[in-house]
């Protein structure tokens, strides 16, 4: 997934990320993932990266460094295979809009905090 365009940003904050759960462990929802992501421990994207490149390119040809793509806002998407978690992030390298104009942060480090529960 790539950003549509880039925006100015703060370097730390709280956001939301989707994960697959397999055998009670969290994995990023992309093919090629090899390691599960722990809860309440800071992790670096380079240790979990599935795309090996020095930069990504937006739809309008702006370059940015790869990292964890984290949504700024909670999203209500019911999925049988994805679970949303609240995460803390730091060392932001880019922010912008992603699919369906979702404000998205690209960070080098994150800490998974807790599962987002939905009330029916």
CA distance 111 to 59: 29
d(CA 67, CA 105): 9
Q: What mean pLDDT, rounded, does the chain reach? A: 81
Q: Is the confidence at residue 17, as pLDDT, over 70?
A: yes
Task: Tell me which residue of 96, 87, 92 sits closest to 41, measured CA to CA.
Answer: 87
Give the mean pLDDT of 51-59.
Answer: 67
Residue 59 has pLDDT above 70, yes or no: no
The pLDDT value recorded for residue 67 is: 86
**What are the sequence ranges of the domains in the chain?**
5-115
Q: Would you state the pLDDT for residue 27?
A: 87
pLDDT at 49 over 70: yes
Percent with pLDDT over 90 in the chain: 27
Q: Please tell me the predicted confidence (pLDDT) of residue 85.
A: 94
Q: Residues of the chain with pLDDT > 70: what percent?
A: 72
23: pLDDT strictly greater than 60: yes
Which of residues 5 and 101 earns the better pLDDT score? Answer: 101
The CA-CA-CA angle for residues 2, 34, 29, to 5°, reads: 40
């Amino acid at each position: 997934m790539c950003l549509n365009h880039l925006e100015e940003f703060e370097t730390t904050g709280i956001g939301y990320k989707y994960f697959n759960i397999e055998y009670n462990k969290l994995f990023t929802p992309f093919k090629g993932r090899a390691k599960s992501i722990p809860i309440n421990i800071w992790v670096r994207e380079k240790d979990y990266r599935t795309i090996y490149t020095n930069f990504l390119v937006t739809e309008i040809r702006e370059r940015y460094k790869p990292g964890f793509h984290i949504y700024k806002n909670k999203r209500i998407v019911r999925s049988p295979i994805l679970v949303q978690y609240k995460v803390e992030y730091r060392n932001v390298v880019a922010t912008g809009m992603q699919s369906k104009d979702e404000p998205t942060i690209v960070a080098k480090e994150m800490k998974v905090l807790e599962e987002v529960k939905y009330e029916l």
